[in-house]
Structure 1
């Protein structure tokens, strides 16, 4: 009873503290089952423990680490800890420094050390308890589907609202349930007939086989392409409750943005996980899961935009002044076809805002390096991912605060001043780049919205977002992911693209280049030019003109069947291309034969002969 009492006392104190200081806790109706799950884990730990004292300390360290990590992620990013977060955790050590780095290291090291210190190495009961845990884990791993079915029926599954899942389950149950769900999704790579069916549904032709096409080089002429991905770049002016003293955006940028119709890039993420926005911008496929696609899901060499342009003689360079292996970029950039990757080791870290290199320095150094390519030589795909703009938006002494805010939100004020400098440094770069490379195609967009405080902080204060995802109205789902988008078509100036999901940008670039080669980069973007689908974890919305249709997974809604089928087809092709057998790249002739057979069957049956699949693939910008 003493053991159960200790766990219960810790639980009550921890949940009260998280609710008071961070605004995060399970729902009242879930407290009993959540406490029961903690008691079960506590009982297993005690069976392995050398003494009550050691158990009490190890239990508090382990439970507190999970509870605090989950609460912080919920408050900052709007979702609870998920299984994929454990794979991505190592990236924290490449991003953080100072007390944040030491704190994160302690969150991982202390629980492990406490468990080792607690374990009764010479007691058979400890090894029996550990064996029971291992067998339970193996059973879940071997039979995840029935486990998921039972847990969904017992504890529920709010497909589009993971915060809601945590609140109605509690953390231990949530982690077990979502881990089993992840395991249940591990299916064999798609087969050839499945890939054919998905491609027919999308109306796409198979591209020429990459491995053969890579051997064919063009004469190396073409317009340069510059893609600038701006860290946490967003327009803070809609934060009416903040009372900003002036417009943070450079007036010149606002005019440029307005000339392109004030378009938005629709990102797959909020507040972090930049690599998913990168994957979409480079490879033309949407991400709609909570994990980072670069981490473990990109396992094949693929003809993404850098490699596709490389086949036409382009030289492709990626620049990002962060630690090279962050989000597995070394391997990911190589697989998508970059010729060169310049990371923090390749830049002079001479103008730092906290630990982040300023955009002004990054742009200057990139221009110095690519200068010879702008003055002659092979065409260039210049990909720049900025670093300045990360939470908590530090500025150095050379960048004093210019903008004040009436609201008592330190992050909103800091972010407004960050955007003030970020937008001006961007425009200075664009002026020089357009002067030196007037015919280039330039694409720039924000990777995701900034985090402005716990539980959507500054957004909730101004009514742009609700504090809880379960309370989002339809418009809020678009607001959650919409960042500024500007596309410049050389001397013709800004292009009126309309709002575009980031995965549609590679196809747009090919259209502006007049590149009519068959490509996987058009599979998702040209499925239906009139309708744009933005998939997100558990939810998706479609844009048709100004009409917005939001579809929440797990709910029956009119007008959602077409987008559901589209996502299933795109997801299957994505599995085939990026970690499967790449049937979609190898068999263009097979699809043409299938189309011919289908047309012949229609002729015999007297039906109307349809247009061959994939003939209408031009994007009318």
Structure 2
């Protein structure tokens, strides 16, 4: 018996058996752990296919492993990092890992410090080092395995569309419910399926004919502006845009039983005067850069990726550049690392003249690694205050950082709001809003005194993440634990944040429900700037107050009273004729906007050459379009200068 066990073939067979048995045991323990601790659980139909996928991955790893002990250590580290990282993303943001997350992972480290940064770094470094240590580099079969894997990857890259179709047919796909996709696939299959989809959907830039057709679809008739300003009022007033990190009304969280209203009463009154207007964001709980793109460029983001990272590849006449053509000086301020979400390049491409980032601010009032809003506001006013009544109009763009998860406070900001037991995250968020709203109103009083005629708009960038599986929101009945269980109204709740627009001495305006991509066009209306612009194509109209909010794989329509979610096409048959028609019309509008989006931000910019010229103004945008007409599209390179663009 001993001889049989010592035979090389038997030893190899036992090694394989032990390796695969270990994968099974690890898998069962890991799935139980993410269920118990994070509330993430696969659908029953997915267990078998997910286990098989893990076994196949385990077999590939063992085929190149130098020994069984090294395989056990490396596989544990790699599988655990992916599984628990995915579960954490689902618990916090409501969706699973996607291929773009691996590209954007560098940015996540910039949000962390202390033990969190160390933990995240170890989650990446330990699996990578153990994998390197595990591989039997000098064994010929290892290189044969690498060759086989390389061939399979090459085939996937060369023929992604047939692979995608086959995977979708066998394992299903929901265009709007990525959490549901993961639940029915498991992580390895989900990443494979979405990876080939990402590869297959790479679209070529639209032709001039397609762009013309898209513009015709939008219609050429002039809209009736939501805000009408006489041409005599065009003298250039300053514009202040204040983007407030996770700014949202905590009093909606009724189950948390907050001890007091966190919002400053003065802000409550201001927001009430604005008719409790809401902005509709493209994201929940994070990815602020997508909100930024919309409010600066006037086009919606509807895919689960960061548009600043790969979608913005051209210099475009977004709000800063458009205003710059008539003499505005545009300044962006954000006390985070300059390169986070590719902001150095993105801000340059949309036309900012200056970008003040973390290195440009004194870190004199920190809530952990987040500069307080009061310090940020004070330092900005110290710089621009003397210029507010000068001859050069200013576009002052402020993106705050205080208010970010996990909502830390320093000793100068003791907690004053309590919440029900078990609602500690909500209590932390409520106390953050207590100070954030008061620091905002202090700044707003000073700003309006210094610049009474300015146009000022302030709003939250997205809803706060308050716990696993929409925790905090879920307990109060605002959201369901899974997007597949959302009602139509919940999709609106998911993205609606307070917005206040102040039209100088005229006071506060009621803008109703405003998708953030419609904000730049509205601001141009308020400023009395009726020059042709790309932002006019999505500007709100007084004739049609219907809000269309695209989200990944779907969109919803809101008229202020009712919400209609347009999900999968087959779901249209289950709706009333009016709802079906509304979904079809809004889908056609979005199709046209998508073509213009690809043309303007990553294509040949045919649309710019179809904008009517403005007499007396040389358009840098049109010159850029002519320059790009024959230029190949390339990803932007990182710029070295972080403070001046």
Q: What is the TM-score with the length of structure 2 in the denominator?
A: 0.88
Secondary structure of the 2:252 match is: coil
Question: 1:439 pairs with 450, 453, 456, which one?
Answer: 453
Question: Quick one: which of 294, 303, 327 aligns to 2:341?
Answer: 327
Please tell me whether residue 66 in structure 1 is matched to residue 82 in structure 2.
yes
TM-fit CA distance, 1:205: 8.3
State whether residues 460 and 467 of structure 1, in contact with CA within 8 Å, keep that contact through their aligned partners in structure 2. yes
2:470 corresponds to which of 450, 456, 469:
456
- How far, CA to CA, are the matches of 1:526 and 1:412 in structure 2? 34
Map of 1:607 onto structure 2: none
Q: List gaps (5 residues or longer) in structure 1.
A: 207-219, 591-621
Asked if the contact 2:90/2:179 (under 8 Å) is kept, the reply is: yes
Task: Give distance in 1, aligned partners of 2:353 and 2:423.
Answer: 43
How far residue 204 of structure 1 moved from its aligned partner, in angstroms, is: 4.7
**Is 1:140 matched up with 2:156?**
yes
Maintained 8 Å contact 1:202/1:524: no
Q: Report the equivalent of 1:12.
A: 28
Separation in 1, partners of 2:159, 2:586: 30
Alignment-derived partner of residue 393 in structure 2 = 379
Q: Secondary structure at the match of 1:149?
A: helix
In the TM superposition, what is the alpha-carbon distance from 1:545 to its structure 2 partner? 4.1
Determine the structure 2 residue equivalent to 1:249.
Answer: 263
Aligned to 2:564: 549
The residue aligned with 1:601 is: none
Residue equivalent to 2:596:
573
> Equivalent residue for 2:193?
177
Q: Of the candidates 113, 137, 143, which is equivalent to residue 97 of structure 1?
A: 113
* Aligned equivalent of 1:389: 403
2:284 is the alignment partner of 1:261: no
The alignment yields a C-alpha RMSD, in angstroms, of: 1.5
Equivalent-residue separation in structure 2 for 1:578 and 1:546 (angstroms): 34
Aligned ranges 1:190-339 → 2 under 5 Å: 190-204=206-220, 221-339=235-353
1:569-605 Cα distance to aligned partner (Å, 9 max, x none): 1111111000100000023479xxxxxxxxxxxxxxx
Would the alpha carbon gap of residues 525 and 140 (structure 1) be closer, same or farther in structure 2, given more than 3 Å must change? Answer: farther
Tell me the secondary structure at the aligned position of residue 237 of structure 1: helix
Residues in 1 aligned to 2:612 and 2:436: alpha-carbon distance in whole angstroms = 49
Listed as ranges, the matches of 1:140-179 within 5 Å are 140-179=156-195
CA distance in 2, matches of 1:168, 1:514: 52
| Equivalent residue, structure 2, for 1:538 | 553
The whole-number CA distance in structure 2 between the counterparts of 1:321 and 1:545 is 35
Residues 418 and 427, structure 2, Cα contact 8 Å, conserved in 1: yes
Query: What is the CA-CA distance between 1:554 and the residue it aligns to?
Result: 4.6
Q: Structure 1 270/545 Cα, relative in aligned 2: closer, same or farther at 3 Å?
A: closer
Shifted more, 554-563 versus 85-94: the winner is 554-563
Distance apart, 1:67 and its partner CA: 0.3
State the distance in 1 between where 2:560 and 2:474 align.
27
SS at match of 1:549: strand
Is the 2:532–2:611 Cα contact (8 Å) retained in structure 1? no
Question: 2:42 matched to which residue of 1?
Answer: 26
Does the CA contact (< 8 Å) of 1:4 and 1:42 recur in 2? Answer: yes
- Structure 2 residue 379 is the aligned partner of structure 1 residue 369: no
Counterpart residue number, 1:484 = 498
Could you say which residue in structure 1 is the equivalent of 2:432? 418
The corresponding residue for 2:415 is: 401
C-alpha distance in 1 between matches for 2:220 and 2:49: 49
| Structure 2 partner of 1:612 | none
2:579 is equivalent to residue 564 of structure 1: no
The Cα shift of 1:221 comes to 4.7
Q: CA deviation at 1:524?
A: 2.3
Q: CA deviation at 1:151?
A: 0.5
Distance, in Å, in 2 between the alignment partners of 1:523 and 1:280 is 13
Moved more, 404-413 or 510-519: 404-413
Q: Distance in 2 between matches of 1:174 and 1:110?
A: 24
User: Are positions 1:586 and 2:609 aligned together?
Assistant: yes
Using the size of structure 1 for normalisation, the TM-score is 0.91
Return 135-144 or 242-251, whichever deviates more.
135-144
Name whichever of 272-281 and 524-533 sits farther off: 524-533
Q: How many matched pairs?
A: 578
Return the alpha-carbon distance in structure 1 between the equivalents of residues 560 and 83 of structure 2: 43
